[in-house]
Amino acid sequence: EAGVVQSPRYKIIEKKQPVAFWCNPISGHNTLYWYLQNLGQGPELLIRYENEEAVDDSQLPKDRFSAERLKGVDSTLKIQPAELGDSAVYLCASSLGLRLNAGELFFGEGSRLTVL
Protein backbone atom coordinates (compact mmCIF):
# COMPACT_ATOMS: atom_id res chain seq x y z
CA GLU A 1 0.00 0.00 0.00
CA ALA A 2 1.29 3.47 -0.85
CA GLY A 3 2.24 5.72 2.00
CA VAL A 4 1.48 9.40 2.32
CA VAL A 5 2.27 11.03 -1.00
CA GLN A 6 3.30 14.65 -1.28
CA SER A 7 4.14 16.82 -4.23
CA PRO A 8 6.15 18.61 -5.31
CA ARG A 9 9.23 17.37 -3.44
CA TYR A 10 11.07 20.59 -4.15
CA LYS A 11 9.92 24.05 -5.12
CA ILE A 12 11.92 27.21 -5.67
CA ILE A 13 10.03 30.46 -6.13
CA GLU A 14 10.62 34.14 -5.85
CA LYS A 15 9.08 36.05 -2.98
CA LYS A 16 5.54 37.29 -3.49
CA GLN A 17 4.78 34.36 -5.79
CA PRO A 18 2.11 31.83 -4.87
CA VAL A 19 2.86 28.16 -4.19
CA ALA A 20 0.72 25.11 -3.53
CA PHE A 21 1.48 21.74 -2.01
CA TRP A 22 -0.57 18.61 -2.39
CA CYS A 23 -0.98 15.64 -0.07
CA ASN A 24 -2.64 12.29 -0.60
CA PRO A 25 -2.96 10.51 2.75
CA ILE A 26 -3.13 6.79 3.33
CA SER A 27 -6.48 5.41 2.27
CA GLY A 28 -8.97 5.42 5.11
CA HIS A 29 -7.03 7.83 7.31
CA ASN A 30 -9.44 10.36 8.78
CA THR A 31 -6.87 12.61 10.41
CA LEU A 32 -4.56 14.71 8.26
CA TYR A 33 -1.90 17.14 9.43
CA TRP A 34 0.17 19.80 7.75
CA TYR A 35 3.40 20.64 9.53
CA LEU A 36 6.18 23.11 8.87
CA GLN A 37 9.72 22.07 9.72
CA ASN A 38 12.68 24.42 9.78
CA LEU A 39 16.21 23.07 9.63
CA GLY A 40 17.29 21.53 12.90
CA GLN A 41 13.92 21.96 14.54
CA GLY A 42 10.92 19.81 15.23
CA PRO A 43 7.72 19.96 13.18
CA GLU A 44 5.27 22.76 13.93
CA LEU A 45 1.59 22.15 13.34
CA LEU A 46 -0.11 24.34 10.76
CA ILE A 47 -3.48 22.62 10.55
CA ARG A 48 -5.19 19.37 11.51
CA TYR A 49 -8.19 17.91 9.72
CA GLU A 50 -10.64 15.34 10.92
CA ASN A 51 -12.17 14.20 7.64
CA GLU A 52 -12.98 17.44 5.79
CA GLU A 53 -13.23 19.59 8.92
CA ALA A 54 -10.31 21.74 10.01
CA VAL A 55 -10.39 21.10 13.76
CA ASP A 56 -7.18 22.95 14.65
CA ASP A 57 -5.94 25.78 12.48
CA SER A 58 -4.87 28.07 15.31
CA GLN A 59 -1.25 28.12 14.12
CA LEU A 60 -2.00 28.71 10.45
CA PRO A 61 -1.04 32.25 9.35
CA LYS A 62 -4.34 32.92 7.70
CA ASP A 63 -3.30 36.15 6.03
CA ARG A 64 -1.21 34.22 3.53
CA PHE A 65 -1.77 30.51 4.15
CA SER A 66 -4.85 28.52 3.25
CA ALA A 67 -5.65 24.84 3.20
CA GLU A 68 -8.47 22.65 2.10
CA ARG A 69 -9.40 19.01 2.25
CA LEU A 70 -12.30 18.55 -0.07
CA LYS A 71 -14.17 15.27 0.33
CA GLY A 72 -12.00 14.44 3.31
CA VAL A 73 -9.24 12.79 1.29
CA ASP A 74 -6.56 14.79 -0.54
CA SER A 75 -5.46 18.11 0.83
CA THR A 76 -3.76 21.20 -0.54
CA LEU A 77 -1.81 23.85 1.31
CA LYS A 78 -1.35 27.19 -0.38
CA ILE A 79 0.83 30.19 0.37
CA GLN A 80 0.06 33.48 -1.32
CA PRO A 81 2.16 35.53 -1.40
CA ALA A 82 5.25 33.66 -0.24
CA GLU A 83 7.82 35.42 1.93
CA LEU A 84 11.50 34.66 2.47
CA GLY A 85 10.75 33.29 5.93
CA ASP A 86 8.44 30.65 4.47
CA SER A 87 11.44 28.65 3.25
CA ALA A 88 11.07 25.32 5.06
CA VAL A 89 9.94 21.75 4.60
CA TYR A 90 6.18 21.29 4.58
CA LEU A 91 5.22 17.90 5.91
CA CYS A 92 1.93 16.11 5.54
CA ALA A 93 1.00 13.31 7.91
CA SER A 94 -2.04 11.14 8.37
CA SER A 95 -3.45 8.70 10.90
CA LEU A 96 -6.60 6.68 11.36
CA GLY A 97 -7.49 8.87 14.32
CA LEU A 98 -5.85 10.37 17.37
CA ARG A 99 -6.16 7.85 20.12
CA LEU A 100 -3.80 5.06 21.00
CA ASN A 101 -5.20 2.33 18.79
CA ALA A 102 -5.51 4.58 15.78
CA GLY A 103 -3.03 7.37 16.27
CA GLU A 104 0.13 6.02 14.65
CA LEU A 105 1.44 8.77 12.40
CA PHE A 106 2.50 8.27 8.81
CA PHE A 107 4.49 11.10 7.26
CA GLY A 108 5.08 12.00 3.66
CA GLU A 109 8.57 12.80 2.37
CA GLY A 110 7.84 16.51 2.61
CA SER A 111 7.89 19.43 0.18
CA ARG A 112 10.99 21.57 0.47
CA LEU A 113 10.24 25.20 -0.33
CA THR A 114 12.92 27.76 -1.09
CA VAL A 115 11.81 31.36 -1.43
CA LEU A 116 14.36 33.65 -3.12
Partner 1 sequence: KNEVEQSPQNLTAQEGEFITINCSYSVGISALHWLQQHPGGGIVSLFMLSSGKKKHGRLIATINIQEKHSSLHITASHPRDSAVYICAALNYNTDKLIFGTGTRLQVFP
Member of 19, 47, 60, 93 binding partner 1 (CB under 8 A): 93
Distance, in Å, from the CA atom of 107 to the CA atom of 33, rounded to the nearest integer, reads 9
Q: Considering the rule CB under 8 A, would residue 44 count as an interface residue with partner 1?
A: yes
Q: Where are the beta strands (DSSP E) in 2-109?
A: 5-7, 10-13, 19-24, 31-37, 44-50, 53-56, 65-68, 75-79, 88-95, 106-107
Sketch the per residue contact string, 45 through 74, with partner 1: x for CB under 8 A, - otherwise: x---------xx------------------
Q: Give yes or no for residue 85 binding partner 1 (CB under 8 A).
A: no
- Residues of this chain that interact with partner 1 (CB under 8 A) are 33, 41-45, 55-56, 91, 93, 98-100, 103-110
